[in-house]
Amino acid sequence: MKQNGTLWNTRLNGNYTAENYPPGIGIGQELPAIKEVSGNGVLTIEEMGDQHISTSYDTPLREDAFDLTEEEKMERIEFHFEKIMQTLGLDLSDDSLSGTPKRVAKMYVQEIFNGLDPKNMPKVALFSNKYKYNEMLVEKNITFYSNCEHHFVPITGKAHVAYISNGSIIGLSKINRIVQYFSKRPQVQERLTVQIANYLKEILGTEDVAVLIDAVHMCVSSRGVEDQTSATVTSFYGGAFQAEAKKSEFLRYVYGS
């Protein structure tokens, strides 16, 4: 999977990638039965299993995603989450559980998924590169928390970001905020990597951007295969970073020599 750089995932396997996944499948729609498309099978949800498949580099949002206010969204989520808890057999009259639907609704809308709303996008100011610094700038070990869009359980890890200025620079903390913004939504790690890179390329006006993410997925460690030791690494190398020398320099800064 490539988009102006390199992208790889230690858990992506089989022949099903974003390039041959069935187009036009929306939220709540049933995937078609297995059939042959250009020599590759198309997966049903059952066949997909735990394969981390992403259908787009854009977060899949409905056209009416922002028609409701935050308060209206929280009311709906609270109502439906209460039904989930009741279906599981939980007694919501218990003091410990009675406020959980409201807490979850607030957490979803205002905290862990607030990166879905464009109004929360970080405001980034550009500054002139007065120091004439023309080497790579690396911001590494950026802690982030996201959630797997397949099971809605946490993804935690570190992001490492670099760029080479073409005349403009941004404040260091803004890189962290950009990572956090794209993390705070249901995600797949491949998409997260590319979204961070593409946003930096756009605001900095340069192709010379690199992003590496090293993360642990709770959908792998806490369920399914229950592997507590594996990690997933994704990377994006654009512009000058596609040269092996620059790529190696970046990786030395991240991992050490």
State the total domains in the chain. 2
Which of 91, 116, 141 corresponds to the end of one domain? 116
Alpha-carbon distance 10 to 74, whole Å?
Answer: 36
Determine, yes or no, domain membership for 246. yes
What are the tokens at 19? Answer: 């390039």
What are the tokens at 113? Answer: 């998924």
What residues contact 89, with CB distance under 8 A and at least 6 apart?
none
Alpha-carbon distance 245 to 199, whole Å?
Answer: 24
97 and 192 co-located in one domain: no
Which of 67, 86, 116 corresponds to the end of one domain? 116
Domain span holding position 89: 77-116
Tens-level pLDDT at each residue, the chain (257 residues) = 344 443 333 333 333 333 333 444 343 444 444 333 334 444 444 555 555 555 568 999 999 999 999 999 999 999 999 999 999 999 999 999 999 999 999 999 999 999 999 999 999 999 999 989 999 999 999 999 999 999 999 999 999 999 999 999 999 999 999 999 999 999 999 999 999 999 999 999 999 999 999 999 988 888 888 888 889 999 999 999 999 999 999 999 999 86
111 and 131 co-located in one domain: no
138 and 242 co-located in one domain: yes
CB 185 within 8 A of CB 146: yes
81 and 149 co-located in one domain: no
242 and 173 co-located in one domain: yes
Determine, yes or no, domain membership for 225. yes
Q: What is the CATH number of the domain that holds 87?
A: 1.10.286.10
95 and 141 co-located in one domain: no
CB 78 within 8 A of CB 110: no
Determine, yes or no, domain membership for 145. yes
239 and 148 co-located in one domain: yes
Residue among 4, 49, 57 at smallest CA distance from 190: 57
**Predicted local confidence at residue 57, as pLDDT:** 82
Active site residues: 148-151, 189, 217, 219
Determine, yes or no, domain membership for 98. yes
Q: What is the CATH number of the domain that holds 143?
A: 3.30.1130.10
Which of 61, 87, 116 corresponds to the end of one domain? 116
138 and 216 co-located in one domain: yes
Exposure on the CB side of residue 114, measured as CA atoms within 13 A: 13
